[in-house]
Amino acid sequence: MHVSLNRKNIRYKLFSFLFVAFILSSCGVKREATWSKEYATSAQTEVVNYSMQYLHKPYQAGGKGPHAFDCSGFTFYVFKKFGYKLGASSEEQDRQVPTIQRKEDLQVGDLVFFEGQKRNGKVGHVGIVTEIGSGGEFKFIHASTNNGVIISASTEPYYASRYLRGGRVLKETATQRAAVSTRAPKNIQKKKPTIKALETDSDTIIIHSRPSELQREKTTSQSHNEKKVKRKNESDAVLTRRQTAVPPPEKNPA
């Protein structure tokens, strides 16, 4: 009888241990998304960095900054800094920018639109993507009603259940930034000296147009000889003129 009770206790403990192990394995630690800003362009990075300056500013209905904001007033204020004029409400901004339907296509600096508290399918909230995670997850900065300007994650139940779509304000994309021009720089070719070819019975002899030392000496010698001949001719001509200018002697009469 005693042995039977021990076996029941062992079975009960074993069953309890397996049950607890199963519960713990099913409630394991949730994997966090890997967030990245690696592919942000310079313009996208500037927008996000500028928006971060207003973290923890209070919420104010109709507030357009810089000391207090509502959601659309915050996005309006941030993008105004970079020359973009967005609409006054989140609905207007949604109609104004190109739509991004898939979460996987979102990029840093994009707008993200959510339903409001009424859950009626209409845009009632907007924020700016600050980081991109795996599987279409993202973080965004926005002016929330209760906490002012904060950073939230798309995985939070309130925003996950109200997400509608994204919108792109910035024209520069990560793909455009990564595209590097493949044009090679033009090489500056030095001018080669002109050459002449003399055809012979055997091979073709290439002679540079620049005269050789022998040719220069020969040319110099010919020029010198020509000058000597010219001076001699000039001297003979002068002598002839002098002789012609002297009158012949007169003959005595007989």
Alpha-helix runs per DSSP H in 81-173: 90-96, 157-160
Annotated active-site residue 208? The verdict is no
Range 71-91 average pLDDT:
97
State residue 196 phi and psi, 5-degree precision: -125, 150
Binned at pLDDT 50, 70 and 90, residue 39 comes out as low
Whether the predicted pLDDT of 20 surpasses 50: no
User: What pLDDT does 118 receive?
Assistant: 85
- Choose, from 67, 71, 208, 224, the residue flagged as catalytic: 71
- Cβ atoms of 71 and 126 closer than 8 Å: yes
Write out the H or E segment, with its range, that includes residue 59.
none
In CATH, the architecture of 42-177 is: Alpha-Beta Complex (3.90)
Going from the C-alpha of 237 to that of each of 80, 214, 224, the distances in angstroms are 98, 35, 20
Candidates 17, 15, 22; CA nearest to 7 is 15
- Lowest mean pLDDT of 79-83, 146-150, 192-196, name the range: 192-196
Whether the predicted pLDDT of 47 surpasses 50: yes
- Cβ atoms of 128 and 78 closer than 8 Å: yes
Whether the predicted pLDDT of 236 surpasses 80: no
Write out the H or E segment, with its range, that includes residue 250.
none
Range 41-52 average pLDDT:
95
- Choose, from 56, 125, 208, 224, the residue flagged as catalytic: 125
Residue type at 178 in one-letter notation: A
Between the CA atoms of 104, 110, 115 and 117, what dihedral angle is there, to the nearest 10 degrees?
A: 120
Candidates 140, 132, 180, 176; CA nearest to 156 is 140
Annotated active-site residue 142? The verdict is yes
- Lowest mean pLDDT of 87-101, 198-212, 232-246, name the range: 198-212
Domain boundaries, the chain: 42-177, 195-234
Binned at pLDDT 50, 70 and 90, residue 119 comes out as confident
User: What pLDDT does 148 receive?
Assistant: 98
Strand partners, 138: 132
**For residue 152, how many other CB atoms are within 10 A of its CB?**
18
Q: Structure pTM? A: 0.57
**162 is written with which tokens?**
């109200």
User: Percentage of residues in the chain with pLDDT exceeding 70?
Assistant: 52
User: What pLDDT does 110 receive?
Assistant: 98
- Choose, from 27, 56, 67, 142, the residue flagged as catalytic: 142
Annotated active-site residue 56? The verdict is no
Whether the predicted pLDDT of 174 surpasses 50: no
Whether the predicted pLDDT of 69 surpasses 50: yes
Distance from C-alpha of 89 to C-alpha of 2, rounded to nearest angstrom: 78
Comparing 210 with 217, which gets the higher pLDDT?
217
